């Protein structure tokens, strides 16, 4: 005040005008800031005014009550269902979900609870203040995939049991029994034939299943047997033995009650002979091939014994035919895979004594000539059968001879010491063995079918009718 009194009047007016000008500029700035903040605080337009008013200089201003946190709609949609329901009161009690949020709340039905249908199912939940609709039709991929997988597994297991029976070998055994049954001189019934067929098939299946169940460790070492179900793990040895027990029991019972006890005894004996004796000898001695040939000779005896006595020499000719056929067939097969048999631990003539292997194949190929002759001699077939069977036996014996002759030269002292000549000769022997094997596959069915066609008395009725007609015509002409 002292300074103002001492100052001249013009200076005082200048200072007052400058002060008023600063006051109004400050007031204008505050109003602009308040207007800007009013746009920000949409909820309460007076918040900015209260904040920037002179009341903020008051010392005893009451503190504002704490406001609930403002939750935007976008943040509310990202919260959990429980938090979302509690936040609705902070936004709007009658909140309308925008179209952009409908996609978030459109739920897909659980495939385990929904079936494949065309009706859109609806559900309401207590935790959501709106209705949830299932608008997408979703196939029950879980159930369909599991069912398809089960079907594949069932087919795989069924195929494994089918392979467990060695189907090609079982069919050969069954056909040999049927052919022998057809060649028996005494008439029989169709039910007996069906029982023989089913029982023989089941007995062969049981023997083969036991054989596979006992040899997975050795079959794993051979390419020829690596795909067997027990080797691949599709079936366990226990499952193979269980399957064999069921098949063998049913087969023996069918043969016993449907045919006769003799056939049932032969079937059970063949299971034991193949599954235990032959399978055990395969890793001990080369005599296993001769034992296996006996197994192949028993089915013709079963077929013959179904309708005729085993005292008839004709049945033994048939059994000998099947016995002799095993050697050119198996010896030539084992020749080309002799190293696999050796690595697997099977004692076979093909690698123990190659010369003997070829000689045995030729020997039993030639033995089939007198056996076929015996069928005509004992009245089972007519004499024309010797012509037809002779052609088939000659075809097989020729290639068996070529195989033996080449092996004889290969292991002679002249060629055996020359590695180049030995390898060339061995390649030729492999070709001859392969041809002999495939010819044996065709030769046996041909010989058996020809035997049925040339069965004694099959064509007598036709020629007798022609002779009777000629006799009647001549008698009428004479009268």
> Which pTM value belongs to this model?
0.66
- Tell me: the pLDDT tens digits for 422-432? 888 889 999 99
Q: Report the C-alpha gap between 147 and 398 in whole angstroms.
A: 56
Annotation: CATH topology of 157-311:
Tetracycline Repressor; domain 2 (1.10.357)
Owner of token pair 């022998």: 180
> 95-99, 311-315, 402-406, 454-458 — which is least confidently predicted?
95-99
- Tell me: the pLDDT tens digits for 162-201? 999 999 999 999 999 999 999 998 867 899 999 999 999 9
- Tell me: the pLDDT tens digits for 209-237? 999 999 999 999 999 899 999 999 999 99
Handedness of CA 8, 10, 14, 19 (dihedral sign): positive
Tell me: pLDDT of 383 over 60.
Answer: yes
State which of 40-44, 87-91, 188-192 shows the largest mean pLDDT.
188-192
Tell me: pLDDT of 415 over 70.
Answer: yes
**What is the pLDDT, as a whole number, of residue 17?**
54
* More confident: 28 or 56: 28
**What is the pLDDT, as a whole number, of residue 257?**
96
What is the 3 state secondary structure string of the chain? CHHHHHCCHHHHHHHHHHHHHHHHHHHHHHHHHHHHHHHHCCCCCCHHHHHHCHHHHCCCCCCCCCCCCCCCHHHHHCCCHHHHHHHHHHHCCCCCCCHHHHHHHCCCCCCCCCCCCCCCCEECCCCCCCCEECCCCCCCHHHHHHHHHHHHHHHHHHHHHHHHCCHHHHHHHHHHHHHHHHHCCCCCCHHHHHHHHHHHHHHHHHHHHHHHHHCHHHHCCCHHHCCCHHHHCCCCHHHHHHHHHHHHHHHHHHHHHHCCHHHHHHHHHHHHHHHHHHHHHCCCCCCHHHHHHHHHHHHHHHHHHCCCCCCCHHHHHHHHHHHHHHHHHHHHHHHHCHHHHHHHCCCCHHHHCHHHHHHHHHHHHHHHHHHHHHHHHCCCECCCHHHHHHHHHHHHHHHHHHHHHHHHHHCCHHHHCCHHHHHHHHHHHHHHHHHHHHHHHHHHHHHHHHHHHCECCCCHHHHHHHHHHHHHHHHHHHC
Tell me: pLDDT of 394 over 50.
Answer: yes
Of the candidates 107, 114, 302, the one whose C-alpha atom is nearest the C-alpha of residue 197 is 302
CA torsion, ordered 101, 102, 103, 106, to nearest 10 deg? 130
**What is the pLDDT, as a whole number, of residue 66?**
52
- Tell me: the pLDDT tens digits for 240-290? 999 999 999 999 999 999 999 999 999 999 999 999 999 999 999 999 999
The domain spans of the chain are 2-56, 73-133, 157-311, 312-479
**What is the pLDDT, as a whole number, of residue 454?**
94
């Amino acid at each position: 005040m002292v300074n103002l009194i001492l100052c001249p009047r013009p200076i005082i007016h200048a200072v007052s005008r400058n002060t008023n000008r600063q006051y109004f500029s400050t007031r204008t700035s505050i109003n602009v800031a308040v207007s800007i903040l009013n746009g920000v605080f949409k909820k309460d337009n007076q918040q900015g005014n209260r904040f920037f008013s002179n009341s903020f200089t008051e010392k005893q201003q009451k503190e504002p009550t704490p406001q609930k946190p403002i939750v935007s709609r976008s943040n509310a949609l990202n919260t959990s269902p429980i938090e979302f329901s509690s936040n609705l009161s902070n936004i709007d009690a009658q909140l309308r979900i925008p179209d952009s949020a409908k996609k978030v709340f459109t739920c897909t039905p659980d495939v385990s609870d929904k079936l494949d249908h065309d009706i859109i199912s609806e559900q309401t939940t207590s935790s959501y203040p709106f209705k949830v609709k299932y608008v997408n039709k979703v196939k029950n991929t879980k159930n369909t995939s599991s069912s398809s997988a089960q079907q594949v597994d069932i087919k795989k297991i069924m195929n494994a049991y089918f392979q467990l029976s060695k189907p090609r070998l079982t069919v050969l055994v069954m056909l040999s029994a049927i052919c022998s049954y057809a060649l028996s001189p005494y008439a029989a019934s169709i039910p007996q034939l069906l029982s023989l067929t089913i029982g023989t098939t089941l007995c062969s299946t049981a023997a083969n299943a036991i054989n596979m169940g006992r040899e997975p460790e050795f079959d794993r070492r051979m390419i020829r047997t690596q795909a067997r179900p027990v080797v691949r793990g599709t079936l366990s040895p226990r499952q193979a033995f269980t399957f064999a027990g069921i098949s063998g029991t049913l087969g023996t019972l069918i043969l016993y009650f449907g045919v006769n006890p003799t056939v049932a005894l032969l079937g059970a004996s063949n299971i034991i002979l193949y599954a235990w004796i032959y399978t055990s000898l395969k890793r001990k001695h080369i005599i296993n091939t001769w034992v296996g040939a006996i197994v192949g000779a028993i089915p013709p005896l079963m077929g013959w014994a179904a309708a005729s006595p085993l005292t008839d020499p004709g049945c033994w000719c048939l059994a000998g035919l099947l016995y002799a056929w095993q050697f050119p067939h198996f010896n030539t097969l084992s020749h080309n895979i002799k190293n696999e048999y050796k690595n697997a631990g099977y004692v076979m003539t093909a690698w123990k004594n190659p010369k003997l292997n070829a000689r045995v194949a030729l020997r039993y190929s030639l033995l089939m000539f007198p056996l076929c002759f015996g069928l005509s001699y004992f009245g089972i077939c007519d004499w024309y059968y010797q012509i037809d069977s002779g052609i088939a036996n000659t075809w097989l014996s020729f290639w068996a001879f070529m195989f033996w002759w080449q092996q004889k030269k290969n292991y002679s002292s002249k060629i055996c010491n020359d590695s180049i000549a030995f390898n060339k000769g061995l390649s030729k022997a492999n070709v001859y063995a392969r041809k002999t094997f495939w010819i044996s596959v065709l030769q046996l069915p041909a010989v058996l079918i020809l035997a049925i066609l040339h069965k004694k008395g099959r064509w007598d009725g036709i020629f007798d009718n022609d002779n009777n007609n000629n006799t009647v015509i001549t008698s009428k002409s004479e009268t």
